[in-house]
Amino acid sequence: MTSSSAPSAAVTLLTLGGTIFMTQDAPGGHAAPDDDAAARLMGTLVDGVVLTPHEIANVSSSDVRQHHLRAVLERARRAVDEGADGVVLTHGTDTLEESAFLLQRFWDREAPLVVTGAMRPASAPGADGPANLRDAVAVAASPTARGLGVLAVVDGQVHLADQVTKTSSRAISAFASEPSSPVGMVDGADVRVLHRGPGRDAPRPGTLPDHLPRVPTLMAGLDDDLDLLDHLPADAIAGLVIAGVGMGHVSPAAMPRLRRLLRAGVPVVVATRIGSGGTSTHHYAYPGSEVDLLDAGATMAGFLPPAKARLLLQVLLTDGATREEIREAFAAHAS
Ligand code: ASP
């Protein structure tokens, strides 16, 4: 399916910051947020698209908070309700996939909400921000992107929010879709949607809560029995995500610690620390394996990486989801 953006499409541009709006203090020097970088980038438009910019903040990924995303959601919904064809959000690339995933849980409009960023500061030779912004605007304006929910557009590729993942901390082509492939390609006004992806979870009608419950993530590894858990009162956390080894495994000695939490009613979700392939439910049955973890009452995260598993568990806990509802929600990400 191919389309060009319709003449006079309207796109709202929400800006949160990231490297796309940073400049360096000297050639090759340190990059930091620059308010003027945003203004200069506005020249990067797609013909026939009327862009309405609104700054939410100009911060790095690590400084993005719930209240920012809540403001994004409310502004984006209002923009679409007032006639915008789509919305673009600029964001640091470090946690871009997490914000996209979280917004997707709440995005209940047909119009696309497109997140983009840049790997190179606006002042760097070969800065990728202008092309990424132009492409994101084209996707937001494109009728072919309607109904796809929250999308990430970077380096000419269009990714679904639930699948996009940062795979390089340095490369311009820093993002991939897991476990599938990009949902589309874009080159200026030329937007191609290649497949529609798996169905979406029903979005929540409300808004993002100001605070999500405390759910830490612990990474399993060689000779690590997660003994930190012995020093943690069960009521200190609302849930726990383990970035397990392989298909989602922990050491045998970690199991009594996880059982203690599970018996105390703390949900434990096990993802994998591996970038591709997801967790299993049935390959291995040794102590600490996925079968042992499932028997103990843990939930496997499927294809969701630990960072997204944490956000999903936090949202489900906010919903008041039961253990069974948590299991079903994660099962939807296992195929
Ligand atoms: N550290 C930056 C950030 O995520 C990286 C980027 O935007 O690409 O804010």
More confident residue, 29 or 67: 67
Structure tokens at 105: 């849980």
Contact (Cβ atoms closer than 8 angstroms) between residue 243 and residue 220: yes
Distance from the alpha carbon of residue 96 to the mean position of ligand 1, in angstroms: 9
Rounded to 5 degrees, what angle do the CA atoms 142, 147, 152 make? Answer: 65
DSSP code of residue 181? -
pTM of the model: 0.94
Cβ–ligand 1 contact at 177 (below 6 Å)? no
Q: Buried b / exposed e across 157-176, counting CB within 10 Å, b at 16+? A: bbbbbbbbbbeeeeeeebbb
Catalytic site residue 15?
no
Of 56, 52, 73, 43, the C-alpha closest to 9 is 52
Q: What domains are defined for the chain?
A: 9-193 (3.40.50.1170), 217-331 (3.40.50.40)
pLDDT tens-digit readout, 165-191: 999 999 999 999 999 999 999 988 899
**Rounded mean pLDDT of 235-257?**
97
Distance from the alpha carbon of residue 20 to the mean position of ligand 1, in angstroms: 8
At 312 the pLDDT is 98
pLDDT tens-digit readout, 55-93: 999 999 999 999 999 999 999 999 999 999 999 999 999
Give the separation between CA 184 and CA 198, rounded to whole angstroms: 14
Contact (Cβ atoms closer than 8 angstroms) between residue 270 and residue 300: yes
At 47 the pLDDT is 76
Report residue 202's pLDDT band, with 50, 70 and 90 as the boundaries.
confident
- The minimum-distance atom of ligand 1 relative to the CA of 91 is 7
Choice among 93, 95, 116, 279 that is catalytic: 93
Interstrand relation of 31-33 and 22-24 (parallel, antiparallel or unpaired): antiparallel
Distance from the alpha carbon of residue 117 to the mean position of ligand 1, in angstroms: 8
SS3 159: strand
pLDDT tens-digit readout, 128-170: 999 999 999 999 999 999 999 999 999 999 999 999 999 999 9
pLDDT tens-digit readout, 289-304: 999 999 999 999 999 9
Helix (H) or strand (E) holding 186: strand 184-187
Residue-averaged pLDDT of the chain: 92
At 43 the pLDDT is 57
Cβ–ligand 1 contact at 33 (below 6 Å)? no
SS3 294: helix
Cβ–ligand 1 contact at 92 (below 6 Å)? yes
- The minimum-distance atom of ligand 1 relative to the CA of 96 is 4
More confident residue, 126 or 41: 126
Structure tokens at 269: 């979700």
Distance from the alpha carbon of residue 254 to the mean position of ligand 1, in angstroms: 34
